[in-house]
Structure formats: C-alpha cells, structure tokens
Structure 1
Amino acid sequence: MRIIVDDLSHPKVAALLNEHLAGMYASSPAECVYALDLSALQAPEITFLTAWDGDELLGCGAFKLLDAHHAEIKSMRTAAGHLRKGVARQILRAIELMAAKRGVRRLSLETGTGDAFLAAHRLYLDFGFLDCGPFADYRLDPFSHFMSKPLPAVHPAPKRHILPFPAAGV
C-alpha cells in the first residue's frame, strides 16, 4: 500500500468522493452532512491523502487545519472492495503523523451517529479518540458524533555532527 498526498485530479479519486458523499446523504439528513466535495477539498488548509495498490485506489482521508495546533479529520473513506483490510488504519496513521509533523497538537472529527458509522466509531476509539463536544463551527445535533485526541509533539531528529578523527599513528 502506497499512501500519497494527492492533488484530487485522478478520476478514481472523484468517483470515490462521489461514493462518500452519496453514503453520507443516505445516512443523515442533508442539513447534518458536513462532508466536503472535491472542490472544497482543494482548499489550501486541507491535506488530502490517498492509498493505492498499483493503480487501484484503496481509500482516502484528509485533515483540515483549523488553526496552528488543531486540525479536523475529513473525508475518511475506504473503497467498497477493500473494507476490513486495514486501509483506514493506515490512512489514519499517516494523517496523525503528518499533522503532528506540521505542529498539530489536537485532532478532532465529526462523524455520523447511525449504524452506518459504527465501524468508524470503533476505528477512532481504537486510535485513542474520545467523545467531545462540538468544535470549530459545529453545533450539537442528533446526527453528529464529535471526537478528539491530543497528538504528541514530533521533534525533528537531531542533526549529527561528524567530528574529524586524527589520522592513524598521529
């Protein structure tokens, strides 16, 4: 599996995002769907990732910077043919690592509340996300489940200084 920062230009990415939006609208009332479409995901504050196996798209996920230290997970979706193969776990790991390297100290998310979202709830709980209240511009509603977790600080590896050794026999 290869996970990349994606520019959203591949037709397979557009198709997966359309599947994602259709699933969100099928599971929640339109006024309670906060999923972003392809053009909204191209905003500069959003980093969009895709997972591939060769030329086969396995899944996607993104994070949106809310401020210098807080980001929101967006558009987590595994392609239907690759469910329960660990795709979402790998994407979520990549999001956490990339966000932490950019100085994010808290990751939050909004997801649905129906049965269609139970697998997502389990995934986020497994990764240490805990229930929280609404954040950013969200409001409480019966179709939204809010979760958040702190991220550890990621410090760059220390630079190694090579010290010259005296020549043999000196």
Structure 2
Amino acid sequence: MVATVAIETPLQDDVRRLVDALNDHLLPLSPIEFQFKMTVEQMAGSDTTVLVARLQDGTAVGMGALKVHDAELGEVKRMFTDPSVRGQRVGVKILEAIIALARDKKLRQLKLETGVGEGFAGAHRLYTRYGFTACGAFLDYPDSGHSAFYEMTLTVPATAA
C-alpha cells in the first residue's frame, strides 16, 4: 500500500466522508462538549491547510490539518486515518507533512489537543514518537481532564550566508 499526501481542499465529498468518519469515531470516546471539531467549511478557511492521504487509485484514506493561529503558533487539527489502513504509516506521512508545512511557514511551535483514554493511545504514541511533549491547556481549550495537550518546538534550518 502506497499512499501519497497532498494539500487539498476539504470541500470534496470524499474528504467530507473522512470528517464524518472521524466525528463518528470520536462520539463514544469523549463527552461531546469536549470534542473540539472543525467543520469542512471551517477547515477551508485561509488560516487552515488540509492534507489528504490517497491510495494510488485515488481513494482518500486519511487527513490532517495545520491551523495557523499567529506568526509563531500552528495547531495540528483533524488527524484521522481510515481503519482499513491503520498500522500502514498513513498517519505518519500526514503528520510529517504537517510538520514540514509548519517549518516552511517558519512557525516556532506546533501544538495539539487530543482525547484521553485507550481509544487515543495510538495517537499519543505517534505524537510522542515525533517529538511532541505533554503540555498544559492552550488557547481557549478547557483543562477538563478529557483532553491531552502536546507541543513541539520547531527549529528553523539556518540559511547559508
């Protein structure tokens, strides 16, 4: 299985299906009031870049987004891989693309909010493997005990003199 990741508009039927699948996946895992979802319309805003993973036949099998809050801070949003491709490094490719995009935008920090509990264990492993460390609540997220927060400081490569 070879998946490629590219920047795409979320305003496509197959991306909408991924968003719906993510929302359905989250329902039993956290209280609804502590699920901080973005609609595809919000994801299509100028502050957000959506990355979609597709199989060679064009099937959308994963997504993630980078939301830029200011010149320093970006947030990883809406990470999801279809259950049919879990364990095949699709999430890794999406996260690597988000980190690279954040570096291209010269952001200094990436943060994210995700759930807690066994249903989120794979996500926690992925984020920590890529250098994210636990942090406190940020922006307007409540410190409810239903969320885990992670951050990564990005280093911008030195330019040649």
TM-score, with structure 1 as normaliser: 0.88
For 1:9 and 1:67, the matched residues in 2 are separated by: 24
| Alpha-carbon contact 2:134-2:149 (below 8 Å) kept | yes
Residue 51 of structure 1: aligned partner: 53
Secondary structure, counterpart of 1:88 in structure 2: helix
Please report how far the alpha carbon of residue 154 of structure 1 lies from its aligned counterpart in structure 2 after TM superposition.
3.7
- The residue number in structure 2 matching 1:129 is 132
Give, as a single letter, the amino acid of the residue that structure 1 aligns with 2:83: A
Deviation of the 1:145 alpha carbon: 0.3
CA displacement, residues 77-126 of structure 1 (integer Å, 9 cap, x when unaligned)? 00111000000001100100011110111000000002110000000010
Please report the RMSD computed on the Cα atoms of aligned residues, expressed in angstroms.
1.4
Instruction: Write the distance in 1 (CA, Å) between the matches of 2:123 and 2:94.
Output: 13
Asked whether the 8 Å contact 1:66–1:136 carries over to 2, the reply is no
Code of the aligned partner of 2:147? S
Q: Structure 2: how far apart are the matches of 1:2 and 1:129?
A: 23
State the number of aligned residues.
158
The one-letter code matched in structure 1 to 2:52 is: T
Amino acid at match of 2:86: L
Structure 2 portions without partners, runs of 5+: none
| 1:85 paired residue among 75, 84, 88 | 88
Greater than 6 Å deviation, 4+ residue runs? none
Q: TM-score, normalised by structure 2?
A: 0.93
Residue number in structure 2 paired with 1:165: none
Identity, % of aligned pairs? Answer: 30
